[in-house]
Amino acid sequence: MDEEPIPADPTPWDPSSTWGNTNVDWDTVANWSDADMGSARKVPIDGRDENEELHWYDPVVHATRPGPGVLPPLMAEMLHDPDHALYSVITQPHAPSTTPHVPSADELRAAIPHPNAYYCKDHNGWVFLQWKSSTVLPLLVKEFSTPLPDQARRKRTVSCVGDGEQPFGPANLTHHWHRYEKAVDATKLNPPYTRGELLLDLYLCCQCSLYCLVSDVIPGVIPTKLVDEFTRDKLSHPAIDKTPRATVVAGWETILTVIDNRLWRDEQRSLPVGRPKFRSKVGWSPPVQQVFKTIGFPLQDLQQGQNASELALQPPPIDPSTPEGKASRTLLLRAWVEVGAWLTVYEKSKESLGSYNPMILCVKAESARDMYQAGIGAHVSQIPRGLLPQPLSNYTALEETWKVLGMTPSTYSPELLAFAYFAQCRCDPANTMTYFTHLYAIVNTMIQLGQNVPSELQTLIVEERSRFRFTPDDLYEAAKILGFGRDGELRVELDNEIEDDFIAQAWRSARQRAWQDPSNAATRRAKLNDALRLIAEHRGSEKLLKVWNDEKGSGMSPDTAYTTLEVPKDVDETMLLTVYSMRVEDQPSQAERMREALSVIAEVTNSDRLRHFLATGQDPGDTTVTSTAPDMPRGLNQLGNTCYLNSLLQYFYTIKDLRSAIISIAQADTKALEETKFTDDDLKRHRVGGRLVTRREIMRSKKFVNLLAELFFNMEYCENPAITPEIELAKLALVTTQDEEEDEVDKAGTDSSNDTDATLVDDMVPRPTYDRVSSSPLQSPTGSVLGKRNRDLDSSMEIDASAAVASPSERMEATKTLTSSPTHHAQDATELIQDAIASSSKLPPSESTADVEMKDESQAGKAPPLPPRKPRQTDDSVMMFGRQHDVSECMDNCMFQIETALLDFQGKETSDDDKTSPIKRLFYGKKKQRLTSLSPKDDALHQSSIHEKEDLFSHLHVNVADEGFDLYDGLARYFDDVVELGGQKKRMEVSLVDLPPLLQIQLQRVQFNRETQQAYKSQAYVKFGETIYMDRFLDSANPEKKARAKEIQAELTAARDRVHKLTQGKHAPFASALKNTADFLSNQTVLAELSPDESLITSLRKDEALVTEQLQHERERTVHLKQQLEEIWKDDKSAAYELTSVFIHRGSSPSWGHYFFYSRNLPNNPDSWFKYNDSDVTAVSKDEVLADTTGSTANPYMLVFVRKGCDAIETVHRFNPESIEDA
């Protein structure tokens, strides 16, 4: 292969590359002129730092930046509702008056809340608004989480806009404002705000000394709602001689006149509201009455004590020498100004008042929009409008995009968009990629809508791509290139739980595999390099960036690397390093090229030794053993999607007797095994999984165990930190004999030369039906690797997952499902019970006897069975070996082959109960199953109401659906459950007769959503500890205690179900729903016509209190019942088991994910644990193993306990050279 050219660094971004699926053909865009390159950076903006922008992900860069800002046009909309105008209000001299208590000029000025207060007619209120250039900020009332802009920088410029401020031209195109909510106390200003407490928002321009203060709306005397009601009333009921608008003006003028007469003419007479003159002027209605009440004119009866009555409005006192008069006077003056301002603005409308001549007002209101927009830099003369192409003007998909960039679409120009983007990146570097994403969205939208993209924006996109800016689509594509994602090679999502080391290793492995296709290797590796850098920057990972920088290499091919150093490909590393040193010493001018060649070889060979040499200049020695303690367990390298298999093989290695048994038979000559002849009688004397085995299966199993023994040997003696299993070993573990035979049938032939007619007939005995279906509901269309599934369903699933065999109730549900079809209606209850017992005990119905009591137990154990022969569908599986299986099938297959390989055909006949097999002796116990009626009524209706059977078991199963359960709770449901069988409800009771040395408990996390008809993985936390006591589940347990415990357990289950219904059931949680409804009805203001129903609100709050009380009671009751339950068994501790292994599945889907496991360091150091994560093995604390996994997708799916006092586990089994020296 020819050497590829060395790419520039950083790699220029090609807009037509495959990064991100934007569906935009960049080749159709106007030509990207080289003459324009760099023009985008000529946008007037200061404060940018090239180094900081390239290291935007560095927290040190974030620390001093003020965060996102806005440009002046968007700030103008944030100051006050853009649809509402603000007015500057002034009062003019009133006609002279000689009456007492006439308002003074100072009082009139004080009627306006503040010199910087602007009137809003739509709110009938005021907004405090002040903009000012000053090097001194107003006093702040609190500290903020984001820092203020650099004050030294701000002081250097008076204003970003305006003539004469910057003698050498503007450094910035416009202001860049930053908002700090409720930052300034208005009462501390000069002049102060004196109408009560008022906190102001502070806007600071980060580029100059200008700042702006603004308040929320300060309510006027007459509430907005009342103003609107009064106005609508007049519009809908106009006077006969006036237009509707004239009627409105006349009504408000009447109110204004009443206030004016009281203040300037000292009018103290009452205003009878029923007289024709008053009614013709203003009318009388609830809104009118409320308006007068608000301004201090109460309604009184002038004819008190007489038969007739006359209602009249009483003027309030205005004598400033009294507190009441002073307060009323201030209120009336404020109302007089506001009503006058309202009328001034209202009369500006061009709509006709007809022949009506409005009164002359002493209050003037002029629009302040131009003034404050010019003050903050948002005026049309400062930032032009209307440059955005029309198709984009109302393009709603970009509404959020404009806001994120801090601008408005109406003020768009290419230069302003570039300024907004750079300003946001400068002030908020942590979100640089967010801003680039939105900039990119605008440009792409222009292209999609057929608009010409300005050359400035074309150049900007190209330049930013060259600086490695990316979008979420790019990030997704980068993760996909490295193999992450549901359909990726790694079968795990890239999230924050993924460690940097794992990502780096995935990158290295992908780069290695790229050389498998020499013609496309350089392109593939370049994309991988880009992907790693992108992910490293997104995560802000210095470690990944260092890996990228140190190892990204160039386009040099492996052939060129070996040729450059003049060494053969099979050269050993010691000689390679020697030759390298000689070449560098002889040709120092070629040192960089030599180093590059060595780097390529290090990558191709995946040599940690060469990497260490390149990084430090020191040769660490012949192996990487120096970084791994001799007594540390060795990891297993992945061969593909084999992380579950790696965990399983590591688990087998920790089991002392199993390891010894495998190694003991591994010395046999494979060729001799192939020549061994077994008679039919020999084969018929031994059964595995309840059936005879074939010669083919025996030879296959022997080969598997030999390869497993070789792996175990390497795990004991190898000094490398990780071993790579043989491909053939993985194939034999992951592919069953049945799969091979079916594949051969598919190829029109099978090799059965080693099988006799007798053995082949017995090989076709039906397998247990329940072993090939998932837990309830059993016919889920979604496959799961965390649990059993129907082999006829879609099998395109990850092998590396946990097994989750159905619990007794779910097995009975399976039988119920099968018997509900028309072909089963004639089956009687006895046959149903027989099938259910057989199914739950791994015994096929075809082998069960007619007696449902199942007295003959010679065929009771059926473990571990091979998968049944069933028609299979082809799939698009990405597994490396044909179709995929779930993890329990993988485990069954391994254990089947180990047991088969260990058969002694020269010895006596064996049965499934025979404990001479290490598999049976270590993993299998015996359980008793009972089907009983729920009530005496059932006993009378059905004969033989109690059915009992003993059977072997290798796993116990805990259904994981809800939070708040511990391991004892889950097991209790397994050992005592209610099932429905043929329309009859039965109790399924299970007890343990004999316990195995190793107790395997599978946490069944595959659940089914009946609404979506989809399987999902339950992430619920199941609490477990280092020790579990199985006494309560033994058949020999105290009957009185069991009876009492059963009663309490029933109460506990009912209480928990009640809590679940109240908090997580349909329409739950009820308490918060009732509270939110009551709060909404009490406080809602959106629906004016909806008046609150106090009786309904009171009823809702009572219901809320009742539900809350019930919930608290049930929760307290569950705690109390749980304590009672544990109190019963507190002294029963003879059947004690210690936790030894925890298998973990990480991922949100039951169909794929990543797998690793923890193993306790037994027997030497039980307080320490090892974490086996493929090639990485690390020591961890027990706190990590026992941690609460709530909120995490990494959850236990199988727990293994060892019988206390049983010497079955030896976690660390490593060769000790000192033992030879001592000898």
- For position 27, what pLDDT does the model report? 39
CA 447 → CA 74, 418, 444, 454, distances in Å? 25, 17, 5, 11
Taking phi over 0 as left and psi of -120 to 50 as alpha, with beta for the rest, 881 belongs to beta
* More confident call, 8 vs 679: 679
Residue-wise pLDDT tens digits, 495-519: 888 999 999 988 888 887 887 777 8
Report the distance separating Cα 849 and Cα 283, nearest Å.
Answer: 99
- Kindly indicate the confidence band of residue 936, based on its pLDDT and cuts at 50, 70 and 90: low
Least confident of 115-124, 254-263, 789-798, 1190-1199: 789-798
Residue pLDDT, tens place only, 1156-1177: 999 999 998 899 999 999 888 9
Residues 6+ apart with CB under 8 A from 355: none
How confident is the model at residue 73, as a pLDDT? 96
Residue that wins the pLDDT comparison between 1100 and 464:
464
Residue type, 1053: T
pLDDT of residue 308: 62
Distance (Å, whole) CA 1009 – CA 997? 37
> What is the rounded CA–CA span in Å between residue 206 and residue 69?
9
Given this model, what pLDDT does residue 728 score?
Answer: 87
Smallest CA-to-CA distance from 1201 within 1042, 995, 920, 998 is with: 998
How do strand 177-185 and strand 955-959 relate by DSSP bridges? unpaired
Torsion angle of the four alpha carbons 518, 523, 524, 525, in this order, in degrees rounded to the nearest 10: 90
pLDDT score, position 448: 92
User: Which residues have C-beta within 8 Å of that of residue 809, sequence separation ≥ 6?
Assistant: 776, 973, 977, 978, 979, 988
Has residue 879 got a pLDDT over 90?
Answer: no
State the pLDDT at residue 939: 53
Question: CB atoms < 10 A from the CB of 167, how many?
Answer: 5
Q: Single out the residue of 648, 698, 705, 642 nearest to residue 674, CA to CA.
A: 698
Average confidence (pLDDT) over 146-170? 78
**Residue 1034 per-residue DSSP state:** B
Closest CA to 776 of 822, 815, 802, 803: 815
DSSP-derived secondary structure for 317-331: P--TTSHHHHHHHHH
Residue 1109 has pLDDT above 50, yes or no: yes
The more confident residue out of 14 and 632 is: 632
Q: How far apart are the first and last CA of the chain?
A: 55
* Burial zone of 653 (CB within 10 Å; 0-12 exposed, 13-18 middle, 19+ buried): buried
Reduced 3-state DSSP string for 966-1017: EHHHHHHHHHEEEEEECCEEEEEEEEEEECCCEEEEEEECEEEECCCCEEEE
- The amino acid sitting at 905 is F
Report the C-alpha gap between 190 and 1066 in whole angstroms. Answer: 59
Q: What is the DSSP code (8-state) at residue 564?
A: H
> Is-cis flag, bond preceding 7, omega within 30?
no
Please tell me the pTM assigned to this model.
0.59
Residue 805's identity, in one-letter code, is: V
- Residue 126: phi, psi to the nearest 5? -130, 150
Predicted local confidence at residue 736, as pLDDT: 83
Is residue 27 a contact partner of residue 450, using CB atoms and an 8 Å limit? no
- The pLDDT assigned to 1026 comes to 94
Max Cα–Cα distance, the chain, nearest Å: 135
> What pLDDT is recorded for position 851?
33
Greater model confidence, 515 or 407: 407
pLDDT of residue 1220: 59
Q: Predicted confidence band at 1071 (pLDDT cuts at 50, 70, 90)?
A: confident
- For 744-778, the pLDDT digits (tens) are 766 554 443 344 333 333 333 333 333 333 333 33
Rounded to a whole number of angstroms, the CA Rg of the chain reads: 42
Q: DSSP class of residue 691?
A: B
Residue 825 banded pLDDT, cuts 50, 70, 90: very low
pLDDT of 836 over the 80 cut: no
When comparing pLDDT for 487 and 823, which is higher? 487
Q: Over the stretch 334-369, which tens digit does the pLDDT of each residue have?
A: 999 999 999 999 988 767 788 888 898 999 999 999
- Rounded to 10°, the helix 542-551/500-514 angle is 20
Q: What is the DSSP string of 75-132?
A: HHHHHS-TTS--EEEEE-PPPP--STTPPPHHHHHHHSS-TTEEEETTTTEEEEEEEE
| Least-confidence region, from 207-216, 519-528, 734-743, 1050-1059 | 734-743
Q: Quick one: which H or E segment has residue 181?
A: strand 177-185
Provide φ and ψ at 448, rounded to 5°: -65, -35
User: Could you tell me the pLDDT band of residue 677, with boundaries at 50, 70 and 90?
Assistant: low
Query: Does pLDDT of 811 surpass 50?
Result: no
Q: Cβ neighbours of residue 1130 under 8 Å, at least 6 residues apart?
A: none
Confidence band, pLDDT 50/70/90 cuts, at residue 937: low
Q: Tell me the per-residue pLDDT of 594-622, one tens digit each, with 9 for 90 and over.
A: 888 888 888 788 788 888 888 888 877 65
Q: How far apart are CA 81 and CA 863, in angstroms?
A: 75
Q: Which amino acid is at 191?
A: P
The DSSP string of 762-809 is: HTTPPPPGGGGSPSSSTT-SS--SSS---TTS-----SSS---PPPHH
